[in-house]
Amino acid sequence: MRDEALRQALRGAPVPVPPGAEQRGRRVVEAAYAEREAPDRGGTEGRRPLPRLALSLGIATLLAALLLSPAGAAVRDWVGDVVESPAPKPEPELARIPGGGRLLVQSAAGPWVVRPDGSRRLLGDYEEATWSPRGLFVAAAEGRTLSAVEPDGTPHWSLTAAARVRSPRWAPAGERIAYRSGEELRIVAGDGTGDRLLAASTAPVAPAWSPGGDAGLAYVSGDGRLRIVNSETGEALGTASALPNLSRLEWGANGTAILEASPRALRLRPLARWKVAPGLVLGKPRRLPLPGGISLTGAALAPERQAVAAVVTHWREHGTNSEVLVFPPGAEKPRSLLTVPGSLGEVAWSPDGRRLLVAWPGANQWLFLPVGRGRPRAVANISTAFSPGERAASFPRIEGWCCVR
Amino acid sequence: MQVEDGVDERPLVREAQEGSGAAMARLYSLHWRGAYRAAYLVVHDAAAAEDIAQDGFLAAVGALDRFDRRRPFRPWLHRIVVNRALDWARREALRRRVDGAESVFEPLPPPEEIGGELMTALKELPAEQRAVVVLRHLLEYTPGEIARMLELPRGTVNSRLRRGLDRLREAAEAEVSVEERR
């Protein structure tokens, strides 16, 4: 088939358009446009401050439009949730990180370090990155190369692996990095020396270090088993069946639990140590109840307690909405922190476990949500902040929130 | 910077940035149909395509103040729309694989019109191949532009195009032979 013939066929192909679709979208877009804040251009030129009444009308129009929008029936189903837990009004840029600490963010251009005052620095052309335990270094992967760089971007060391490097994870004690290379799980010292094989076959899931500063490392083997090994000796410390279709593994809660997440399920497995012999007791996993018909788009285990944050997307016939859930330690049911239209992305706990950072790509925002008391904050224009000079900015991925001090 | 009907977009983008609702409405009118069509040809679901097109415009409105008006608006919007359509298609594929359940969305009607075989073949391509075929042959971006839009190596774009076109060609030839037998 020649290109021109295909072009004609694609242009002429029957594409069903739902009745009124263009008009519904127009109302939503016009309302959003009316509600947006005029840019500050340092003068009166081009600046059109919106009167309070117009702003109120804009918001009201936006809400009305949403109710009639393609989200349609689905919106009407969950509008109560939206009203009960609305997203906060976004600030135009990140002026400080609520609660402090530093963020590691992966954009199309590479990883960025965001300092407590909101200033940021691009580390270089890497595909993946992870903090060292105290935030003194970042381990970054690009192709077959694993590198350690300082948070100002200064390279420290690099090694070249036999296959593509993925999922680097720096041990909490700082002296080791685990990473996947092809199907292998490998270990290298924090100074880049002593690179060695730990396991020949792993599933495509990032390994998780014991948060206690010991040598324990959890990973999922190629045969779908959750394995915990001593990364120094290779000794098996415990094994169990992993959650099917596991996509995320975290070892947190002061080392007392491992979180397993798949696109449809979430479970928490308690851990204990034998008193008289080396090894771990892997307890019976507890499945955390999730609403029916959802996709799990993010999950994270709190650093110092068995609290789990989850982001779920409800797929509806005419649109989607997403919800941030928190399972307090031992609770049977989750608590809903926020419900928004569209899809949310990944979630990360603050280092002190008091806040969550949630990505909201559809609104181009980050949401900082207090788990207890406090005011939620939203920050707008995230994609452009991490895509300077790009023609079309893409939304960055949150890799980690590190180190209050 | 012109769209197909010869309208120069730059003044419209500038006016929209400066607060003209009429300019924003004109940009919407110029681009909604193309954005919807691109989204539909990737996701093959009318309700999802409507959401995605709307979502693309909302993202454009949110980023309008920082948009470099020397750049063309159309590829910027298409990049947003096609990337979101790809995200949707991947999530939907994953969701179906994970729970083995049927989609909650209504299935496409069986193809009866001219081009039906082609549409069926397009639907059966992996989402990544669909996206590059739509960007190349409906929206007429070059492989280099597609590579930048989707953040892919150019070789990957070319290979996806090649594989996608091979499958579509087979479908088109089958359709021609059916027509000839009638």
Using CA atoms, how far apart are residues B69 and A215, in angstroms rounded to an integer? 54
Using CA atoms, how far apart are residues B168 and B162, in angstroms rounded to an integer? 10
The model's pLDDT over A121-172, given as tens digits with 9 standing for 90+, comes to 999 889 999 999 889 999 999 999 999 999 988 889 999 999 999 999 999 8
- Structure confidence at residue A77 (pLDDT): 33
- Structure confidence at residue A203 (pLDDT): 94
| Rounded alpha-carbon distances, angstroms, from residue A385 to A101, A332, A389, B31 | 19, 39, 10, 26
Buried b (16+ CB within 10 A) or exposed e, B98-127: beeeeeebeeeeebeeebbbbbebbeebeb
Q: Find, among A16, A326, A285, A106, the residue nearest to B111 by Cα.
A: A16
Q: Looking at B106, B141, B163, which one is the last position of a domain? A: B106
With respect to residue A114, please indicate whether it lies within any of the assigned structural domains.
no
Looking at the fold, whether B24 and B60 belong to one and the same domain comes out as yes
Strands (E), chain B: none
User: Tell me, what CATH number does B100's domain have?
Assistant: 1.10.1740.10
> What total number of domains does chain B contain?
2
Question: What's the gap in Å between the CA of B85 and the closest CA on chain A?
Answer: 12
Note whether B27 contacts A: Cβ–Cβ < 8 A. no
Note whether B181 contacts A: Cβ–Cβ < 8 A. no
Looking at the fold, whether B96 and B11 belong to one and the same domain comes out as yes
Residue B33 to residue A25, Cβ atoms within 8 A: no
Looking at the fold, whether B84 and B159 belong to one and the same domain comes out as no
Looking at the fold, whether B77 and B140 belong to one and the same domain comes out as no
Using CA atoms, how far apart are residues A301 and A354, in angstroms rounded to an integer? 12
Residue B21 has its nearest CB partner, among A17, A33, A317, at: A33
Looking at the fold, whether B50 and B13 belong to one and the same domain comes out as yes
Using CA atoms, how far apart are residues A238 and A228, in angstroms rounded to an integer? 5
Looking at the fold, whether B92 and B15 belong to one and the same domain comes out as yes
Residue B63 has its nearest CB partner, among A5, A38, A364, at: A364
Buried b (16+ CB within 10 A) or exposed e, B57-74: bbbbbbbbbebebeebbb
What residue of B is the nearest CA neighbor of A109? B151
Structure tokens that stand for A23 in this block: 């008009």
Instruction: Please check whether residue B46 is in contact with residue A22, taking contact to mean a CB–CB distance below 8 angstroms.
Output: no
With respect to residue A137, please indicate whether it lies within any of the assigned structural domains.
no
Residue A10 has its nearest CB partner, among B36, B76, B138, at: B138
Looking at the fold, whether B6 and B23 belong to one and the same domain comes out as yes
**Interface-testing mutation among B20, B65, B133, with chain A (most A C-beta atoms within 10 A):** B65
Note whether B41 contacts A: Cβ–Cβ < 8 A. yes
- pTM of the full predicted structure? 0.57
With respect to residue A136, please indicate whether it lies within any of the assigned structural domains.
no
Instruction: Tell me which residue range forms the domain holding A54.
Output: 14-70
User: Tell me, what CATH number does A96's domain have?
Assistant: 2.40.10.500
The model's pLDDT over B34-88, given as tens digits with 9 standing for 90+, comes to 899 889 888 888 878 888 888 888 888 888 888 887 788 888 888 888 888 888 8
All residue ranges of chain A with pLDDT < 70 are 1-3, 35-86, 273-279, 317-319, 389-392, 404-405
In B, which residues are within 8 Å of A32 by CB distance? 58, 61-62
Looking at the fold, whether A338 and A369 belong to one and the same domain comes out as yes
Residue B21 to residue A380, Cβ atoms within 8 A: no
Question: What's the gap in Å between the CA of B162 and the closest CA on chain A?
Answer: 11
Looking at the fold, whether A324 and A295 belong to one and the same domain comes out as yes
Looking at the fold, whether A296 and A368 belong to one and the same domain comes out as yes
- Structure confidence at residue A48 (pLDDT): 37
Is it the case that residue B109 has pLDDT exceeding 60?
no
Q: Looking at B106, B134, B165, which one is the last position of a domain? A: B106
Instruction: Tell me which residue range forms the domain holding B154.
Output: 108-182
* List of residues 6+ apart from A288 with CB closer than 8 A: A266, A267, A268, A308, A310, A327, A334
- Structure confidence at residue A258 (pLDDT): 94
- Structure confidence at residue A40 (pLDDT): 43
- Structure confidence at residue B104 (pLDDT): 31
Is it the case that residue B130 has pLDDT exceeding 50?
yes
> What total number of domains does chain A contain?
2
- Structure confidence at residue B145 (pLDDT): 85
Residue A70 to residue B115, Cβ atoms within 8 A: no
With respect to residue A269, please indicate whether it lies within any of the assigned structural domains.
no
Angle at the Cα of A29 from the Cα atoms of B22 and A96, rounded to 5 degrees: 110
Note whether B25 contacts A: Cβ–Cβ < 8 A. yes
Interval B78-99 mean pLDDT: 73
- Structure confidence at residue A109 (pLDDT): 85
Residue A1 to residue B41, Cβ atoms within 8 A: no
